[in-house]
Amino acid sequence: MALDYRKCAEEIFAQLGGKENLVSAAHCATRLRLVVVDNSKVNTKALEEVEGVKGTFESNGQLQIIIGTGTVNKVYDEFLAITGLTAATKDEVKAAAAAQMPVWKRMLKTVGDVFVPILPAIVASGLMMGLVEALGKIDALNFASTDWYGFLDMVANTAFAYLPVIVAISAARVFGGNIFLGAVMGLLMIHSNLTNGWNAAQGYDVWYLFGHVEIGNYTLGQINQLGYQGHVIPVIISVWCMSNIEKWLHKKVPEMLDLFITPLVTVFTTALLTFMIIGPVFSTAETYILQFAQWLITVGFGIGSLAMGAIYPITVVMGLHHMYNVIEAGMLADTGLNIWMPVASAANFAQFGACLAVGIKTKSAKRKAVAIPSALSAALGITEPAIFGVNLRLMKPFVFGMIGGAIGAMFGAIAKIGATAYGVTGIPGYLTINHIAPYTIMLAIAGGIAFALTFFFWHEEVEIEEDETSDDKAPKKVEEKAVEAVETEAATVSIDELADVIACNKSLTVKAPVVGKAVPYTEIPDDAFSSGALGNGVGITPECEEVLAPFDGEIVSVVDSKHAVGIKSKDGVELLIHVGIDTVKMDGEGFTTFVKEGDKVKAGDKLIHFNRAAIKEAGYSDMVVVLVTNSFEYDEVKAL
């Protein structure tokens, strides 16, 4: 029986606490994304009983109601008609959700939004600086006196020498300002007419724009002719002011004059604010923050680092770890050495050790299949799979990782380890650190302690789960067959080269729509998918950038943001192919679709092309989700 979209929307609305509790609404390929004023007024239990609703959860300030591909858009249209809300863009919903967050959390999220996109530039420069410096220290090569050394040194330090410009551009994008005006503000703060910020101790001149009108110890209109090399906080605050001034002017200035007046007034006003107030105040505040961070790392024989090594993975869980980017970027710009990196590296490598111990000790093939790859990822500095997929779920390994990270970080502080970049930890950190041997010992301490504690003191419990396919819901021990990994180096493949990944009774065997390694749907890092609410299937870590039709059928849905399609086979199998996790927020950037709703396709026809680098640069997983959304119609849907 077809779902009554109107009734579904009405029943959803009835459980949301009234229209006054709704801020905005949008939808993606599978769910309604709502922002509400007060989540406590939402009757979540009743929501999940609504026919057509497959589950609910909260994420990033949004109430997400899982409905399913091809259906959610129809329910959404009815929902707008009932509530009187206007259709919101995903950016508007994202902004509304952010506005519901506490101020401190919004500020930390903003810091992450500014610094994460510029990581590639920082990492590239940091790695090159480390390599150039290492080669320069080898006397036998005499590399430091060559022209190559001079050229490579210039290339390597450019990102740090002009860091305020990079930060300003990124900040303008985050705050909704013109990125080119942002670039002007960043350049202005390191202008060659100003005394280089690193040479401030040698003295600098002062401009007095309004004469010598003194207010206490402050001279009105005093501008120190001093650049802001080595500072990032004043740049962010300055661009925030610039963006708000620009947006205000766009609303007030007549359209025919906007092109001339708005940028002129924006730059002039922001420049005055920056050099008279923002720069002096926040550069001083940033100096104190850096001094405190350096003191914390070195205080009491590394006690401060010990504490931070323990706390660091908790901040990862809370999504607050990007706040350290300000400290690390400031250190690099100020001294060229990031001494905060050993804290992060020790903490991350300890989570690797704990996860590896779980992978070796566990008797569960499913858990082993998750733990070993996650541990390897953590060793390379990407800890989220290890933390969220293994250690935090079992808790003891997570705590043991905190202990190992704390002791390793303390050793790193005592050994005076530092790096020439941020965002690079674990094994890749060897390319940026200043002392290789102590760094090796630090990793061995952090990972070794966490491994030993987990191996000897964590004891696996037999997991009992409900068999959701049985009528009496009798509990049974679950054993899942590991999904066969599909590996190829080819960028473009034919459907014949792809392995079977899903079987729907004897009705249809579904081929992988992309080349890559497959895992059961329960291991997809998204609650809506891993819960099974949208159906059984697999997640595939792609090794190419093409999505092919896995069988002959009809395209039943193509989302506006181009990252997902729904396809129905001649036998009635309804399949969702969803590229990436949370990639709806990219609004189609990096995606190209080759089909539209209603198209008939053959197995192997190209459906989507996606840019893996763009997805990762945006901070999202590129895992391709493949789910049989009408799994309930089959006695058995299983991964092969």
The answer on 330 and 241 residing in a single domain is: no
Domain ends where: 101, 118, 151? 101
Last residue of a domain, one of 76, 101, 126: 101
Higher pLDDT, 347 or 290: 347
Bridge partners (DSSP) listed for residue 574: 568
Q: What are phi and psi of 423, to 5 degrees?
A: 85, 0
497 plus 357 within the same structural domain: no
Residues 511 and 630 in one domain: yes
- Residue scoring higher pLDDT (637 or 405): 405
User: Given a cut of 60, is residue 464 above it in pLDDT?
Assistant: no
Q: Do 438 and 524 lie in a common domain?
A: no
Cβ burial of 203 (10 Å; 0-12, 13-18, 19+) is exposed
The yes-or-no verdict on residue 447 having pLDDT over 50 is: yes
Residue 262 has pLDDT above 90, yes or no: yes
Residues 67, 32 contacting (CB under 8 angstroms): yes
Query: What is the set of active-site residues?
Result: 28, 578
> How many structural domains comprise the chain?
4
pTM score of the predicted model: 0.53
**441 domain-assigned:** yes
Q: pLDDT tens across 510-560, in order?
A: 888 998 888 888 888 887 788 777 888 899 988 888 999 999 999 988 888
Q: Looking at the predicted structure, is the pLDDT value of residue 326 above 60?
A: yes
Per-residue pLDDT tens digits for 14-49: 999 888 888 888 887 788 888 888 888 888 888 888
Please indicate, yes or no, if residue 132 is contained in any of the structural domains: no
Instruction: With residue 488 as reference, give the H or E element that holds it.
Output: none
Token digits of residue 600: 């008939």
Does residue 136 lie in a domain region? no
pLDDT in tens, 142-198: 888 899 989 998 998 888 788 899 999 999 998 989 999 999 999 999 999 999 877
> 52-104 pLDDT, tens per residue?
888 787 766 788 888 877 788 889 889 998 988 876 655 566 566 566 666 76
Which one of 107-116, 222-231, 494-503 scores highest in mean pLDDT? 222-231
How much is the average pLDDT of 297-308?
84
Q: Percent of the chain, pLDDT > 70?
A: 88
Residues 510 and 599 in one domain: yes
Q: What is the pLDDT of residue 601?
A: 92
**The token pair that represents 538 in the structure block:** 């697999």
Give the residue among 360, 365, 356 at the shortest CA–CA distance from 397. Answer: 356
pLDDT for position 64: 85
With respect to residue 605, please indicate whether it lies within any of the assigned structural domains: yes
Are 322 and 191 in a shared domain?
no
Angstrom CA distances, 632 to 468, 504, 573, 636, stand at 10, 10, 11, 9
Please report, to the nearest 10 degrees, the dihedral formed by the alpha carbons of residues 474, 479, 480, 481 taken in order: -140
Please tell me the predicted confidence (pLDDT) of residue 357.
95
Please say whether the beta carbons of 552 and 603 come within 8 A.
Answer: yes
Same domain, 632 and 531: yes
* pLDDT tens-digit map of 602-635: 988 999 999 988 888 777 889 999 998 888 777 7
Question: Looking at the structure, do residues 548 and 584 belong to the same domain, yes or no?
Answer: yes
CA quadruple 383, 389, 390, 395: dihedral sign: positive
- Give residue 83's domain range: 5-101
At 627, which CATH number?
2.70.70.10
Listed range (90-104, 112-126, 128-142, 578-592) with the worst mean pLDDT: 90-104
Last residue of a domain, one of 254, 287, 320: 287
Same domain, 336 and 240: no
Q: How confident is the model at residue 316 (pLDDT cuts 50, 70, 90)?
A: confident
- Answer yes or no: is 148 within a domain: no
Contacts of 140 (CB under 8 A, 6+ apart): none
CATH number assigned to the domain comprising residue 88: 3.30.1360.60
SS (H, E, C) 179-232: HHHHHHHHHHCCCCCCECHHHHHHCCCEEEECECCEECCEECCEEECECCCCCC
Q: Best-predicted range by mean pLDDT among 141-145, 230-234, 341-345?
A: 341-345
Do 489 and 635 have their domain in common? yes
Examine residue 532 and state whether it is found in any structural domain, yes or no.
Answer: yes
Whether residue 123 lies inside any domain: the answer is no
Q: What is the mean pLDDT of the chain?
A: 83
pLDDT tens, position by position, 375-417 = 888 888 878 678 877 888 788 999 999 999 999 999 999 999 9
Task: Give percent above pLDDT 90 in the chain.
Answer: 31
Closest Cα to residue 585, out of 562, 568, 602, 556? 562
In this model, does residue 202 exceed pLDDT 90?
no
Q: How sure is the predictor about 479, in pLDDT bands with cuts at 50, 70 and 90?
A: very low
Do both 427 and 453 map to the same domain?
A: yes
Are 39 and 48 in contact, with CB atoms under 8 Å apart?
A: no
DSSP label at 62?
A: E
End-to-end CA distance of the chain: 30
Secondary structure element (H or E) that encloses residue 68, with its range: none
Mark whether 488 and 619 lie in a shared domain. Answer: yes
Distances (CA, A) of 198 to 92, 133, 161, 325: 41, 21, 10, 21
Please answer whether residues 121 and 166 qualify as being in contact, where contact means their C-beta atoms are separated by less than 8 angstroms: yes
- Which tokens belong to 342? 């050993």
pLDDT at 477: 35
What is the spatial distance between Cα 516 and Cα 186, in angstroms, rounded to a whole number? 42
Burial class for 20, CB neighbours closer than 10 Å (0-12, 13-18, 19+) = exposed
Query: Alpha carbon of 106 to those of 109, 113, 168, 277: distances in Å?
Result: 5, 10, 19, 24
Task: Determine, yes or no, domain membership for 156.
Answer: no
Residue 501 main-chain phi, psi, to 5 deg: -125, -25
Q: The tokens of 217 are what?
A: 């110890």
| Residue 244: per-residue pLDDT | 95
* Contacts within 8 Å (CB) and 24+ apart, 55-61: 55/527, 55/528, 55/531, 55/533, 57/527, 57/528, 59/527, 60/94, 60/97, 60/98, 61/35, 61/96, 61/97, 61/98, 61/100, 61/101
